Amino acid sequence: MPVVVRGAGLAVGGLARVTLTILWQVSRVPDCLAVCGELFPGLPKSETTTMTFPYVSKEISWLHFNARVLQEAADPQVPLMERLKFLGIFSSNLDEFFRVRVATLHRLVKIRKKAIDLIGQDPVDLLDQIQQLVLHQSRQFETLFDELCGQLAASGVLLRRENELSPAQQAFVLDYFHQQVRPFLVPLMLNRKTAPLVKDHQIYLAVVLGRGGGEPDYALIQIPADRVSRFLLLPAAPGQTEIILLDDIIRLALADIFCYFDYDCFAAYTVKLTRDSELDMDDERFKTFPQKIQDGLARRKTGKPVRFVYDRSMPEAFLQRLRKVLHITNVETCIPGGRYHNFKDFMAFPQLPLQQAQYPPFSPQPHPQLLPGRSIIDQIRERDLLCFFPYQRFAHFIDLLREAAIDPRVTTIRLTAYRLARNSQIVNALVNAAQNGKKVFVVMELQARFDEEANLYWSDRLREDGVEVVHGLPDLKVHAKLCLITRHEGRKKVRYAAIGTGNFNEGTARLYTDHLLLTADPRLTGEVHRVFELFANKYRIPLFRHLVVSPFQARNKFRRLIQNEIRQAQAGKPSFIDIKLNNLSDPEMVRLLYRASAAGVRIRLIVRSMFSLVPQLAGLSDNIEAISIVDRFLEHSRFFIFANGGKPVYFIASGDWLPRNFDRRVEVATPIYAPQLQQQLRDCFDLQWQDNCKARLWDEGLTNRFRPRGANEAPVRSQMAFIARYAAPAAEPPQDQGGCA
């Protein structure tokens, strides 16, 4: 059940903060209403004068999002190979959850009493809830994997263990082992006094080495999946595919690895250690910011263990020995699992010629108003354009940078970089511009979690090629997605801007849904220029009249927009709020949305992951409906539509509604002024709201129920409908909105 929290607004350094304290768990709706009287006039008064409202822990709501990923893996209508990928996505998601969210909760346990005031719940209780949910989902995961292996076998694809190989296959695998795998193996013997350094995010074989009937020895062997493919195709009969995992290749070769000794019995169990990956940086005054990042990355390697996953068939005595050697003192961090871990590797499972085992091929389409053979800059000058990825080509933005790099009238290019592709074409275009004499200025965020090392590399690479690189603002992570091109046209400087919801990353642009506004509107481009001036002159906070910029005025702006809808509803005028986000857990925004619902504002929310609001509670959130869509692409776009007294206002944004996005990051939301682009956002929201194939309901019980479809209601799968819509000629919009796969 969701929890009721007490909220008190505090002003700290001019930025709003909310402190939460747990009161009790909601067991009946009337109890919930009774404690909300101070917030909602007309509702029953509470005996307490403290403001209270239902609030779901963001960690718990996130775990239910990951359960929706598991639902996709379980869905027989999803192609078989895609179901394996969803298992990989689930595993990868859970790894990051433990490295970040669970690690933070373990830190809060050390200040348990203060933590209750900070997060509104006892971190020990929350960790217990997380443990129970994770164990339940792990059992579901293992059952699903066994089921999918059975379906693969029925399709002629067999996963072979080391003891299931024919003599010819054994010889093939051992030859492969010696040629490709053995050079990367360094066994760590566990009978020494010093503890081995077990790497985060890697899997190991914990090996029992027997010798006659004597006392066994023990060793750890890292499985080098970062150097060698996790999967090996075996020689097999015609019409059949056989695959062995790298784990089992090493199991087969254990006698060869330890041939120098007289061991005659071997057993191996997969284990995995997850460490606290929060980046700790010291306050050394004489170190540069990049040096502090590098030192923090070094300390991350020895972070405190927050999860130890092990093969449940491991003997108890060996498990206890491992825990002692690896200094795993908290039994709650130990999670039993199956024979294999690190299923993220299954996202790169070998491509197999199975019919209908994968989604149909998909290619992003050209934007209908960006004509080939014409200057992109000229076309942006004529009208604002809104690109929708991955349905439309991200290459348009790369082509814009390439054009600017060689345009003799372009003088400067400025860009914020958060996560770049591994072989970034964005970087290549910026380097080309610098080599052509343009002034190129990049704000590189070094604290982009798990991309810190890559961003240090890109910073050095760009500087070497003449690009000016800065690292944002002190104590603020730069998450805004901005690009600004300045061009001399006659006697004027004309600016062109790209303002987006997602990273400038051609890799994720094929997997994530995002919007990117291309504009020459001076109201917007002038303020984008001010944002970049803020990075160059860190102590001057500019005034923004159009852009909504965190941490300076975003909280106040969205507060006023919600309050305006409340006033409209109270006056009997039409009012609504339509929001699409990845995460919505900011306590103040949750409280304001409850107030708006109680006032009669119709609120529709499409929220993918963290969601702390409880919809459809009688008398409190009756007017709030919320769904989450999980499908082929990761829903990542963020936008807002407010009725605004009959003159709707539209925004796209780089940030979610979490405290960090309002208060501790530089985020930018831009208004969408062009009526045709407003209509595109309206159509996008309405189509997703109609989804009755991949939309799940957010409800009080966090049940992950699929939105029900009426007997005569046509199936609508919004992502497939977008693929059809953008692939169709502009003059002939598709009639079929896409069915359930």
Residues 443 and 498 in one domain: yes
Q: Please compute the mean of the pLDDT values over residues 585-595 and round it to a whole number.
A: 97
Residues 585 and 617 in one domain: yes
Predicted confidence (pLDDT) at residue 1 exceeds the cutoff of 70: no
**Band (537; pLDDT cuts 50, 70, 90):** confident
At 28 the pLDDT is: 27
Residues making up the binding site for ATP = 93, 512, 608, 636
Q: Please compute the mean of the pLDDT values over residues 676-685 and round it to a whole number.
A: 98
Is 740 within a domain? no
Residues 326 and 203 in one domain: yes
CA distances from 730 to 707, 724, 733 (A): 30, 11, 6
Whole-angstrom distance, CA of residue 601 vs CA of residue 568: 8
At 290 the pLDDT is: 78
Is 113 within a domain? no
Residues 340 and 383 in one domain: no
The pTM score is 0.90
Which CATH number do you get for residue 660?
A: 3.30.870.10
Residues 157 and 30 in one domain: no
Which CATH number do you get for residue 42?
A: 1.20.58
Which CATH number do you get for residue 276?
A: 3.30.1840.10
At 730 the pLDDT is: 46
Residues 175 and 50 in one domain: no
Residues making up the binding site = 93, 419, 449, 512, 608, 636
Is 613 within a domain? yes
Is 112 within a domain? no
Whole-angstrom distance, CA of residue 665 vs CA of residue 536: 17
Is 736 within a domain? no
Residues 532 and 557 in one domain: no
Is 369 within a domain? no
Is 366 within a domain? no
Total count of domains within the chain: 4
At 344 the pLDDT is: 92
Whole-angstrom distance, CA of residue 503 vs CA of residue 297: 23
Write phi, then psi, for 537 (nearest 5 degrees): -120, 85
pLDDT per position as a tens digit, 169-198:
999 999 999 999 999 999 999 876 677 888
Residues 555 and 539 in one domain: no
The residues assigned a catalytic role are: 479
Residues 580 and 719 in one domain: yes
To the nearest whole number, what is the mean pLDDT of the chain?
88
Task: Mark which of 101, 135, 152 sits at the end of a domain.
Answer: 101
Both tokens assigned to 95:
């790894």
Write phi, then psi, for 701 (nearest 5 degrees): -90, 0
Residue with tokens 């061009």: 487
Task: Mark which of 333, 348, 363 sits at the end of a domain.
Answer: 348
**Higher per-residue confidence, 389 vs 324:** 389
**DSSP code string of 49-85:** -S-EEEE--HHHHHHHHHHHHHHHHH-TTS-HHHHHH
At 23 the pLDDT is: 29
Residues 256 and 140 in one domain: yes
Residues 709 and 591 in one domain: yes
Task: Mark which of 518, 545, 572 sits at the end of a domain.
Answer: 545
Write phi, then psi, for 700 (nearest 5 degrees): -60, -35
Residues 43 and 178 in one domain: no
pLDDT per position as a tens digit, 498-511:
999 999 999 999 99
Whole-angstrom distance, CA of residue 547 vs CA of residue 525: 10
Distance between start and end Cα atoms, the chain: 32
Is 390 within a domain? yes
Residue-number span of the structural domain to which 440 is assigned = 376-545
